[in-house]
Structure 1
C-alpha cells in the first residue's frame, strides 16, 4: 500500500509543479507552511516588476486557491519537495472514506457488497491448454491474507476515479469563473506540470525501501502483503504467463473499466482466432493431399496452372509459350518452366478450399461481433457499469474557453447547454471532407509512385541479369516495391495521426467522450485507406482492367501492346490478380503487423533488462513512490485508441482477405498471444499508471467491427468471383466433366481460358526464344484467322469469345449466391444468440424485483403508519374520552411534582435573598 512519509494516508493522486529559477528567485520563493494538511504562502514583500514573474505569481495564486478549495471539499493534501530536483514539488492527494461514499453516486460508481480478494492461480501443465479460453475469468478464490482487501471495499481504480472527478470539478478562479474549472485546464496552462495516480510498489522498490528502513538490522520482515501490481506483474504482465487466463477483475480493480474492457476485447479476439486458424490449416493440408491425388477431384487443384495441363503438355513435341507478362523488357515463358518452378505451388486461391474458408471466416466475423457484445454485456453488468450517467459529462476546458454563445435544449437533462453554431459545424465538415480528399490523393500518388518504382526495378534487374525478365523475376520486383510501400504506409500513419488530432482539436467537441469518438472515426478512416488502398487497387482496378481491357493486337482501338500508353499507364495482371494480391497481402501483413509487433515486444524486453540493471546498480538508493513514478513515461490520451485501432486493422486484414491469405488468422493468433502480454507489461511496468475512466463499452469500435464484418461478405464474394479462377473452372467442370484426366483439368481447359496470339509482328529485344509464331495469354478471345484459317469462329480482329459474357454473368451470379448464403446463415445465428445473454437479463430482472420489493416494503410501512394515525382520529367519543382521561391521570403526578419543585426552588431563593 502506497502511503505518504508519515505512513498514515493512502496517496490516491499526485499533482506536480515546478518553480523555475531566475533573478527574482528570492522574491517569489514559496515559503511552504503546513496548515491542516495544506500549504499556505507567505505574502510577497513587494510586486514583481517582470511579466514572467507576474505569470509565475498568478500561477502560484491559482494553485493556492485550488488547493484550499480541495481542502474545503474534504480532501487531504500534503506538499513535499523532490529529492533530486530542488525546485520540483509534489502535491499528494488523499480521499477519506466519507468523501468516497459521498461522491461515488455522482459518477455512478457502485460499491460492491462483497470485498474483492486476490485469486490464487497455480501454474500447471493444464494451463497450457487454457489458451483456448483467454476471455474467461475464473471466480476469485478466497485468500487467507485478509489485508489484501482494499480498505472500505474501494478498489484503487475507484478511489482514483472519485479523486479525479473532484479535481475536475473544483474551481481555481478567485471569483469562481466558469472558464477556470478543473485540473485539465490547469495542466493546459502549465499551472501544474503533470498529474497521475500512483502505482503500487514493485518488488524491487519494496526491497530498496526495506533496505533503507532496516539499516543495520540483519533480519527483515518478509511477511509483507502482495500488492495488486506485483500480482499482475507475475501472473499477467509477463511473457512467462502466455497461456494463463486473464485476471480481468484484478485489471478492472487496478486500471479501471475502460482498460479492462479493452483487454476483454483483446482476449475474446485471441480466443476466436483459434477457431479461425483451424480451417486454414485443415484446408492447407487438404489442398496438399488434393494436389497429389490422382483422381478427378483435381479439377479444383490449387496450382496456378492445373496439374493436368502440366502433365499433358510436359511431353508435347511443340513447346507452349506464355506471352510476356509486361509490355517492357519481358520475354516469353515456357509452360513447363512455370509448372516446375517452386513458386507455382505457393498460391492456394484457385482451389475449392478458399471458397469454403471465406464463407467460414465471414460467418466467424459476424458471430464474433455478436459474441463480443454478449461478453461485453456480461462484464458491464458484473462491474456495475450499466447505471452510469454519461449524458451529464463535464465540458472540456477547451470548449469552455471558446466562449460558445449558442445554447441548445437537452431533452434528457431538461437544461440548455452550450453548443457550436451551424456555421462552425459546416466549416468543420468542409475541412474534414477536404482533408479526406487530400489524403486520398496523397495515397493514390504514393500508389502510383510505387507502381513506377516497380517498373524501374524491372529495368534495373534487366540490366543486371542481361536477359529478359521471366515471371518469377517480376514477382521479386513486385515484392521489393511492396516492401518500400510498407515503409511509406508507416510514414502515412504518422501523418494521419497528426492531421486527425489537429482537425478534432479545431472542431473542439463538447465532451471528452465526443472528442475520443470523433478522433477514433477519423484516424480509422485515414489508416484504413493507408493500409488497404493498394490492395483495393489490385482487387477492383487491376482486376476489371484485366478482364475488360484488350491487351494484345494492333487492330484494337482500345489498347495496343506496342503503344506508348501501355508501357506506363496500363497495369494489368498476368493470369488472375489473385497472385499479386497474395504477394501484396503477405508483405503488408507481415511487415506492418507482425514485424512491428515483434519489434515492440523486443523493445519491451530490452527496456525491462536495462531498467533492472540500472536499479540494481544503485545500491541503497531509494526514491519515494511518487518521485519514482514521475520518471516513468506517460502515455498520451490517445494511446488506448491506437491499441484498439491496431486490433481493428488486423481484424480487417484477417476478414477481408481470407481468400488470398488463408494463414492470416494463424499468424495473427501467434502475434497476438505475445502482444497481449506486451500490452500488459506496457501498462503495468513501463509507464505511469493510467488514469482510470468509466466506460459502458468499448465505444465506437464496436460499430466499426460490425461495419467491417458486414462489408467483408460482399468484398469476399467479389474477390472470389472476379480475382480467382474458381468460376471458370466450375463452369467448365459442369459442362465438360467427362474430359477431365486422372490429374484433373486437361489441355482443353487450357484452351478454354488461354487465348492464342499471333506474335509474328511482335518484336522483343534480346529474346531467348527465336522464330516464335504464337503465344498464349489469359483471356477468352477468338483465335486469329492467321493461326487457324480452317476455324469458322476465327476473327481477323481482336474479339471476345461467346463464353466471355457467359462467364461474366456466372461470376455475378456466384457473388450474389455467396452474399445471400452468408447473410442468411449469420442472420439465423444472431437470432439464436441475442446481444444480451439470458443470464444478464435474468440478473437485471432479479435486481429490479428486489428494488421493487424494497420500495413496496417502504410504502407498506408508511401506509401502516398513516392508517394508524387515522384510526386514532376515527375512534368513538367514549373511547377518546377514556384515553384522554387516562393520559391526564398519568400526567397529573408529574405536574404536581413539577409544582412542588417550583415552590421549593422559590423558597430557597427567598432564603438566599434574606
Structure 2
C-alpha cells in the first residue's frame, strides 16, 4: 500500500487462525495454504501462539490493484466521474484522505477476493494433510472454504495497523482538549464509511447541544420573576426549532460527506436492492408480466413485514406494558431516594434481559421476511427493537406525567435515568470487553500450563496478533448477524435524545448533562474501538440509516409530550378548561408541527456546490462517452471499403426518412 509520501508500506491487515503443526508431513495443508497465498502475490508472516498458529497476511499495492481490477471496483477519478479501476491508469484515480489508493472497505474486499479466490483449477483432486488427518481439495473448490469446513481455518479477522492505531490514539481518543473536534477523515480511512458517518453525526450533535445546554441552564437556575410563566414555553419552542434545524443541517453535512472524495458510497450492487435477482435480470423483457411480478412480490413482502410488526406491538402491549406500569407505581409510592436508585438500577438490568429476548424474537421474525439486502434487514430490526426500548424507557415516565402529574417525581426519574443509564452504558462499553479479553487470556494461559505440566511461572503472550485474537469483536448485543456494534451506540444516543427532548420542560438542565455525557462518549467509544476491541469489519453506508427516521419521530413526539407537560403545569386544578393559556399551548403545538415539516423546505438538504458538482460530473461523463462513441464509429467507417461506406450512408438516410 502506498502512503502519502509515495513509498510502499506493507501492513499485515488480515489474520487467520490455524492449529499448531504437530507432525512433520508432506502435503501439510497449512504449508500448502501459505504457498498458494504467496502465489497470489500476498506476503505471509507466521506467528506461533500459546495454543494456535497465526498467519498474518498483507497485500502489496500491485496485488491489491489487480484484485480491484478483477472486481471492477469503481473509484472517483480526477475527471470527476467514477470509473472501474485499472492498475495501468492508477495515477488518474483520486487517493484517500490518508494518502492510500484504496479505502479500508475496498482493501478488505480485495483481501476476500484474493484469499477466497484460491480455487483448484488443476482438474483433479489434491490430497491435503494436517496432523494425521487426510482430506481432499476437489476440483473447482475454494481452498479456504474447504479448510474452514474441515476446521483448519478457525477464524479470519482484520488486524489493527499499529502505526495508524497509535496515531488515532493521540489525535482522537486521548485528545481531550478538542472536545468535539475529531479527525473524521482518518476515522473513515481506518474504520470505514459507516463508523466514519456515525462519529461525524455524534460530533455534530454534541456541538449543537451547546446552545440548548446554555439555554436550559439559564431557565433552570435563573428566576425571571413575573415572567417566569413564559420561560418554559420559550424554551420549549427554542428546543423544537433547534432539533428540526439540527436534523436538517445534518442532512446537508451528510450530503457534503457523500460528495467528497473520501465518502463515496461503495458496495451498492444488485445484492443491495430489495428485489430478487431473477426479476432484475429479466428487467424489460416482457413489460406487463414484469410489472405484475414486481407488484405481487412487493405486496407479499409488505404483508409479511406488517404481520411481524403487529406481533411485536401486541407483545409490547400484553407483556411489557404491565411490567412498566408496575415499576412506575412502585417508584411513586417509595419515599426513600436511595431505594429509588436501587429500584431503577434493578429495573434497567431486567429490561436489558427482556429486550435482548425480544431482539432474538425479532431476528427470527425478520428471517421470515423478504429482505434481500442486509441493510433492509438491519433497518427492520432497528425499528422493532427500538419499539421495545421506547416502551421500556418512556412508559413509566408517561405514567408520572398523565396520571399523577407530579413534576418533582418526574424530575427525579429523569435525573436517575440519565445518570444510571450513562453509568450503565459506560460500564458496558469499557468494562465488559476488557473482562472478556482478560478471561480469554486467562483460559489460554491455564490451558498452556496444563499441557506443559508446569505450575510455576507466568506465561507471557508476546505476539500482537494473539492479543488481537483474544479481544472481542465489535458486535451488537442483539442480532449479531444483522448489525455491528454501532447498533448499541446509536440506540444509546437515540434514547438520550428522546429523554432530553420529550421532557424538556420538566428538566431543562438535561441538555447540559447530555452535552457532557457525549463529550465523554466520543472518547470512550474511541478507546473501545482502538484498544479493547478487534478492528471492525468495514461496512458501506451513505447515512445513519433508519436512525434518522427515529430521530425525526422523536422530535414530533417531543412536540406532543411537552405540550401536555405545559398543560399539566398551568392547569394545576386539573379541570382541563380551554382557557386562553391552554388554547395558546394547543395553537403553539400545531404551529410547531407545521414549522417542523416546513423547515425541510426552507433549508435545502444538499449544499449548492454538491448539486453543481453532480451536474458537472454527469456532463463530463456524457461528453467522454460521446467522444468514445464517435471514435469507435469513425474507426469502423475507416476500416470499411468505399462501397460499404456508401451502403452505410444509404441505410442511415432511409432510417431518417
TM tier relative to shorter chain = 0.7 to 0.9
> 2-side partners of 1:700 and 1:171: how far apart?
39
Instruction: Write the distance in 1 (CA, Å) between the matches of 2:98 and 2:245.
Output: 38
2: CA distance, partners of 1:829 / 1:408: 42
Match of 1:443 among 304, 320, 340: 320
Per-residue CA distance 1:227-271 (angstroms, 9 max, x = gap): 322211111011535536211111111111111111111111111
| 1:136-147 matches, cutoff 5 A | none
**Superposed counterparts of 1:319-398, under 5 Å:** 351-383=229-261, 385-386=263-264, 388=266, 390-393=268-271
CA distance in 1, matches of 2:619, 2:35: 47
Where does residue 80 of structure 1 map in the other structure?
46
Instruction: Go from structure 1 to structure 2 and tell me whether the alpha carbon gap of 1:275 and 1:354 turns closer, same or farther (over 3 Å shift).
Output: same
Q: Which residue of 1 aligns with 2:35?
A: 38
- Deviation digits for residues 180-209 of structure 1, max 9, x if unmatched? 9997x98799663222122112xxxxxxxx
Where do residues 204-603 of structure 1 align in structure 2 (5 Å cutoff)?
Answer: 227-238=163-174, 240-243=176-179, 245-286=181-222, 288=223, 290-291=224-225, 297=226, 301=228, 351-383=229-261, 385-386=263-264, 388=266, 390-393=268-271, 409-410=279-280, 430=307, 433-451=310-328, 453-454=330-331, 457=334, 473=335, 481-482=343-344, 484-505=346-367, 507=369, 509-540=371-402, 542=403, 573=404, 576-592=405-421, 594-599=422-427, 603=431
Provide the residue aligned with 2:157 in structure 1. 196
Secondary structure, counterpart of 2:181 in structure 1: coil
TM-score normalised per structure 2:
0.74
Given the two structures, how large is their TM-score scaled by the length of structure 1? 0.55
Correspondence for 1:745: none
Within 1, Cα distance between the matches of 2:239 and 2:143?
A: 50
Note if 1:632 corresponds to 2:471. Answer: yes
Q: Alpha-carbon deviation of 1:430?
A: 4.4
Q: Distance in 2 between matches of 1:500 and 1:189?
A: 32
- Partner SS, residue 259 of structure 1: helix
3-state DSSP class of the match of 1:410?
Answer: helix
Going from structure 1 to structure 2, the CA distance change for 1:713 and 1:8 (only over 3 Å counts) comes to closer
Tell whether the 8 Å contact from 2:328 to 2:400 is kept in structure 1 after alignment. Answer: no
Q: 2:562 aligns with which of 704, 712, 716?
A: 716
Equivalent residue number for residue 14 of structure 1: 15
Give structure 1 regions of 4+ aligned residues with deviation exceeding 6 angstroms. 25-30, 168-173, 180-183, 185-189, 411-428, 474-480, 604-611, 618-622, 866-875
| Deviation of 1:363 (Å) | 1.2
- In structure 1, the gaps of 5 or more residues are 40-66, 115-145, 202-226, 292-296, 302-350, 397-403, 458-472, 543-572, 729-752, 754-777, 780-803, 876-914
Choose from 107, 111, 122 the match for 1:159: 107
Q: Cα deviation per residue 1:809-836 (whole Å; 9 max; x = unaligned)?
A: 6576334311232134334433232111
Indicate conservation of the 8 Å contact 1:16/1:90, yes or no. Answer: yes
Q: Which residue of 2 aligns with 1:118?
A: none
Provide the secondary structure at the position in 2 that maps to 1:835.
coil
Please list the CA deviations of residues 475-522 of structure 1 after superposition, one character each: whole Å capped at 9, or x if unmatched: 887666555544444443444444434444565843322332222222
* Superposed CA offset, 1:276-325 (max 9, x none): 21211232344x2x24xxxxx2xx54xxxxxxxxxxxxxxxxxxxxxxxx
Residues 411, 810 of structure 1: alpha-carbon distance in 2 compared, 3 angstrom cutoff: farther
**What is the aligned partner in structure 2 of residue 820 from structure 1?**
590
CA 1:710–1:171: 2 relative to 1, 3 Å: farther
- Structure 1's 629 and 282: CA in aligned 2 closer, same or farther, altered over 3 A? same
Match of 1:681 in 2: 527
TM-superposed deviation, 1:169: 7.6
* Residues 652 and 105 of structure 1, relative CA distance in 2, 3 Å threshold: farther
* CA deviation after TM superposition for structure 1 residue 433, in Å: 3.2
- Residue matched to 2:605: 835
Secondary structure of the 2:394 match is helix
User: Where does 1:89-128 land on structure 2 (aligned, <5 Å)?
Assistant: 89-90=54-55, 92=57, 94=59, 97=62, 99-103=64-68, 106=71, 108-110=73-75
**Alignment length (residue pairs):** 579
Cα distance in 2, alignment partners of residues 864 and 16 from structure 1: 57
Q: How far apart are residue 839 of structure 1 and its match?
A: 1.5
Select the structure of larger CA radius of gyration.
Answer: 1
- Considering fraction of residues, name the structure with more helix: 2
Post-superposition CA distance 1:130-160 (Å, at most 9, x none): xxxxxxxxxxxxxxxx9x9656x23444312
Structure with more contact order per residue of length (Cα contacts < 8 Å, sep ≥ 6): 2
| Distance across 2 between alignment mates of 1:841 and 1:105 | 32
What is the alpha-carbon distance in structure 2 between the residues aligned to residue 583 and residue 622 of structure 1?
48
Residue 664 of structure 1, CA deviation: 1.4
Counterpart residue number, 1:706: 552
Q: Provide the C-alpha distance between the structure 2 equivalents of 1:423 and 1:859, rounded to a whole number of angstroms.
A: 43
In 2, distance between residues paired with 1:395 and 1:195?
28
1:852 aligns with 2:618: no
- Corresponding residue number in structure 2 for 1:650: 496
Contact preservation (8 Å) 1:242, 1:674: no
